[in-house]
Amino acid sequence: MNRTRSRRLQLVAPPFATPPGARPEPTGLNASCNQRRSEKMRKFEHFSQRRADLSVLGYDCAHFSERGLSLLHLAMWNALVTRAPSRLAQYRPSTDPILCPDPKCPFLRTAANSDLCVFAPLDESYISMMSHVIVIVVLVITIILACLILFCVCNSRRVSHVSKTPAKAFGASFSSIKFIDEDVI
């Protein structure tokens, strides 16, 4: 049992390239555990520099990117083929929705961490004034369009009074009708 487990761990975590002059790392179960520990430390170093990996999110902050979908599919496939007793963790998605960043809060925020953002309070007079401005603009545009339509309708009636010679009715001269069995002279 231990042999198969150590082989499996060696396949999961391949040995890293050692720099020249460095001591070669041991092989076996201990080597793969050391490698995993060093991988975890690298992840912590990444977050200690206050940079988060947002490459899993798409451009609209609501969908996954290609990399995010790939990681999701890989995690789902691994969850499907791994037996329940040998799983290290269960997938429990978070129920907090991710809110897209805005200029005042330049990071991904949820309802729980949005209190870290600095928000400028909006003036109530500004909000009520904007609704009045929108109503006035809509009324002005409506009046301009109504005047334009009225002008086009009135102008087109003058043009329709011009008398034209009536067209010749169809069938007025039956001499022009040719039949199929008639010979052309």
The predicted model scores a pTM of 0.24
Helix, strand, coil percent content, the chain, rounded in steps of 5: 50, 5, 45
Q: Which of 7-11, 27-31, 50-54, 56-60 has the lowest mean pLDDT?
A: 7-11
The mean pLDDT value for 37-52 works out to 53
Reply yes or no on whether the pLDDT at 154 is more than 70: yes
The average pLDDT across 11-36 equals: 44
CB 75 within 8 A of CB 67: no
> Residues 72-95: what's their mean pLDDT?
75
In this predicted model, what pLDDT tens digit does every residue of 88-145 receive, in sequence order?
766 666 666 666 666 556 566 666 666 666 666 666 766 778 888 999 999 999 999 9
